[in-house]
Amino acid sequence: MQLHILQAGGPFYEVELGRFDGLRSKSSDVNRRLPQAEFNLNQLNSLFAANGLTQTEMIALSGAHTVGFSHCNKFTNRVYNFKSKSRVDPTLNEKYATQLRSMCPRNVDPRIAIDMDPTTPRSFDNVYFKNLQQGKGLFSSDQVLFTDSRSKATVNAFASSSNIFHANFAAAMTKLGRVGVKNAQNGNIRTDCSVI
């Protein structure tokens, strides 16, 4: 992943080596450890804190949404079924909501996906944070980083300086790489990566 980030204009950071591989792999173990698209700030902070990460580190890692894509079913509740009179999330930029509706009409093929960053989707930059300032966070869990006063200042700082964002992202990725590290008691070194 580090090479892809660098190629897209993101920061260089050392990936720590010498990790043991897990003895089993289940998708159910992963899903409950990942932030969900509709999480609020308390849920995000709680999930990341359980892994020893701060709010600032969580916001920096969320900046990875500057590249990548999402399937429509992860966010269409914000443009069709939100609990408001208009059925559209009021924190969503009106023109962006219209754009999302055109790209993801009701009953769209679930394989359809759109870019997470509507402005510079192939660049690892701080435009993700500038998009949040304009109400263009694709997930509720993205937009809440700007709408919640507890995290807004960090979003503004990252939006104002790609250097600040990149430095924080690299440090947070390094720290994230230290979460749940296996040892000889609960992991192994694979000689054949296709076999557990």
pLDDT value at position 101? 95
* Distance from C-alpha of 148 to C-alpha of 26, rounded to nearest angstrom: 34
Which residues are annotated as part of the binding site for substrate?
A: 35
Spell out the residues 6+ positions from residue 144 whose beta carbon is closer than 8 angstroms to its own: 39, 40, 41, 44, 91, 137, 151
Residue 183: is its pLDDT beyond 70?
yes
Which residues are annotated as part of the binding site for Ca(2+)?
A: 66, 117, 120, 125
Residue 1: is its pLDDT beyond 60?
no
Q: What is the mean pLDDT of residues 92-116?
A: 94
Alpha carbons within 13 angstroms on the beta-carbon side of residue 8 total 20
- DSSP symbol at 178: T
pLDDT in tens, 109-167: 988 999 999 999 999 999 999 999 999 999 999 999 999 999 999 999 999 999 999 99
Which residues are annotated as part of the binding site for heme b?
A: 65
pLDDT value at position 102? 95
pTM for this entry: 0.89
Residue 3: is its pLDDT beyond 80?
no
Which residues are annotated as part of the binding site?
A: 35, 65-66, 117, 120, 125
Give the CATH superfamily of 2-68+116-188. Peroxidase, domain 2 (1.10.420.10)
Task: Kindly list the domain boundaries of the chain, sorted by start residue.
Answer: 2-68+116-188
More confident residue, 43 or 33: 43
